A = this chain, B = another copy of it.
């Protein structure tokens, strides 16, 4: 008797092109969009029926970009600035089963494609399951958020340089989107940098992350992140380390 295998129902097409720049939690960046097209073999014309009535969905994903060979039992969450917690007390992607749980806003469904917003997942993420968010089952008013209440995320003020403002206008036209300035502000206000990486934390250092079809360059100084420019035409993935999920087993 063999057990039912896990299946990838589709790969997420996300505005986030690499881990750096991708929000550390869902719904932080309302303008972060993605699409998920359910593979034909799962008969989306039937299996998605009725999902459009829900406002939010769970995405059960596979953390395919993990490169760690071993799982460390303690995690240093960025907002705790050096303090550690057990991995099961964290939402770190580095876990015995690298399964992600993300709440996303369901924008609309067109055919086999689910349009999503508030995404915290990188482009190409294999999705194992979509479930409707049912507030009656999935929320607990007054639940204790543990260590998360100890320390708010470091918050940065975000400014746009004159060059960035021009680049944003051009990108909005090219991509046929609105509100790009607000989205970049939401992304950068959370401080993308890893507080444990000293070289990255150097004041005024020029950093970049890939978003949609551009490389967003910015620097941080005195608690202010400044978008310097948006560069197009660069290779959209710094490192190609996408592992085929067909190689994943439940050990």
Contact = CB atoms under 8 A, between A and B. Distances in A.
A205 B78 CA distance: 58
Contacts of A101: 58, 60, 101, 131, 138
A48 to B, nearest CB: 5
A147 B53 contact: yes
Contact of A55 (B63, B135, B143): B143
Nearest to A126: B250
Contact of A97 (B6, B68, B87): B6
A202 interface: no
A147 B136 CA distance: 12
A87 B68 CA distance: 34
A82 interface: no
Interface string A134-170: 1111111001111110000000000000000000000
Contacts of A89: 48-51, 53-54, 132
A90 B53 CA distance: 12
A8 to B, nearest CB: 7
Contacts of A66: 4
Interface string A68-104: 1001011000000000111111110001111101010
Nearest to A90: B132
Q: Top 7 nearest A-B pairs by Cβ distance?
A: A46-B73, A49-B86, A55-B144, A50-B89, A50-B85, A53-B146, A54-B146
Interface of A: 1-9, 25-27, 38, 42-43, 46-51, 53-56, 58, 60, 62-64, 66, 68, 71, 73-74, 84-91, 95-99, 101, 103, 128-140, 143-148, 241, 243-251
18 contacts: A2-B243, A3-B64, A3-B247, A4-B248, A6-B97, A6-B248, A7-B250, A9-B88, A9-B96, A27-B140, A38-B88, A47-B74, A50-B146, A53-B147, A54-B143, A60-B101, A138-B139, A245-B250
